[in-house]
Amino acid sequence: MLKKLLPLVLLAFPAMPANAQYGFPSFADLAERLIPTVVNISTLQQPETLDMQVDTVEGRVALGSGFIIDNDGYIITNYHVIENAQMINVVLFDNTEVDAEIIGGDEKTDIALIKIEPPFELDKVKFGNSDNIRVGDWILAIGNPFGLGGSVTAGIVSAKSRDIAAGPYDNFIQTDASINQGSSGGPMFNMNGEVIGINTALFSSTGTSTGVGFAIPINTAGWIIGQLEQSGEVKRGWIGLRIQANTRETAKMLNLKEGQGVVVSSITENSPAAKAGILVGDVILNLGKTEISNPKDFSRLVAETPVGKEIQLLLWRNQEVRTVAVKVQDMPKPAKTEIKSNNVPVVENDEIVRITGIKMREITPDIIKALNLSPMTMGLLVESVDVNSDAAKMGLKRGDIIMKIDKKDVLTLNAALGYIREAKQENNRPVTLLIQPQEQNTINVLLVKLRQ
């Protein structure tokens, strides 16, 4: 029977085109056309040395990527690539080096705009529509991994609308295309050669690509880049309320479907929401004609609404639908608060070290100054890592910043210990750490096992 079927099986394979092997496409023509639009970025960050027990270096070079968006020399990259940079050097595809200036940056979405004086006529990218990309579509990523220079990787879209707790407006495209340190800020292209994302972060157990990378959708970036080009900063809309997801239990009590709308949990006094008569417990079903199903989407829609514009909210209250008009205001700037620490009981850190192998330190203004960190840096400094711990095997190093544990902000050792104890009590499950490495310009997500 096998001998009879074998000729039929062989005939089922079509002849391969000259530029493809085993049914896979060749990206050579596309890569050749797109590489000139991508740049390598290096920055010099010069921290001040203080008399304290934190090692610093005299200068630090951070590597990243970017892409040219017009003939005037504007380049998009990640905010964390150019953060605190005193000097920015851009290397074009032909190895021409030029200095760049920062036009503006937005920490909340990790997007920045820089500019060079073009030494010759520049190639620029074309923008695509990231909403049209589908899970399973081929994509191409170009960047500067490990400072090696322009490199091309290919993969597929693995998922959309990913929330990795990197910021308040997370909406990442997930891909299996290799994204490594130095690739941050580089473009993600569709097969038409259009940019549909900005490569930003990787989920890693080793500090290198494990096939899970994340990109900011270009549709999210568009209005941010426009504002940065005009004024160097981003103004966001605000109406002054806090919301939470409409869970199964809440929806059942309210006679709604799970995920239908978002629930108002608190309202700022004298805010636009308060003046419009919105009440705690109201469910926001629609913003204009857009149905609302989760807090992230609602927050993003409000933030992207022009200041001064009136929006219509469809509410569910007392088993009735009603509409209210709310005038959007400029989002207030967060008050700067000093991160106080020190005088923390040693026993607290001892327990963290015993469970995780990580010795952490709360970030003080002195540490921020010594390590040349952003004044708004939130998290815990990694002071040392036990070489035999899982954290060390995952690539965590001294000087890294732990920004979140299990998607929750950590500002104190007490908070970190609480989250770690929770994981310990839940069958010793691993904890997810959102990391900003000191020596690498990227954001990593590490899954760290706890000790027994």
The burial class, CB within 10 Å (0-12 / 13-18 / 19+), for 55 is exposed
For 54-66, what is the HEC assignment? CCCCCCEEEEEEE
The structure tokens 């504002």 sit at 227
Q: Which residues contact 274 (CB under 8 A, 6 or more apart)?
A: 240, 267, 268
Torsion, Cα of 214, 171, 380, 408 (10° steps): -130
Cα–Cα distance for residue pair 308/314, rounded to 1 Å: 19
Contact 71, 37 (CB under 8 A): no
167 is written with which tokens? Answer: 């910021």
Give the residue numbers annotated as catalytic, written as ranges: 80, 110, 184
Question: Would you tell me how many other CB atoms lie within 10 Å of the CB of residue 133?
Answer: 24
Cα–Cα distance for residue pair 231/204, rounded to 1 Å: 36
Cα–Cα distance for residue pair 314/234, rounded to 1 Å: 27
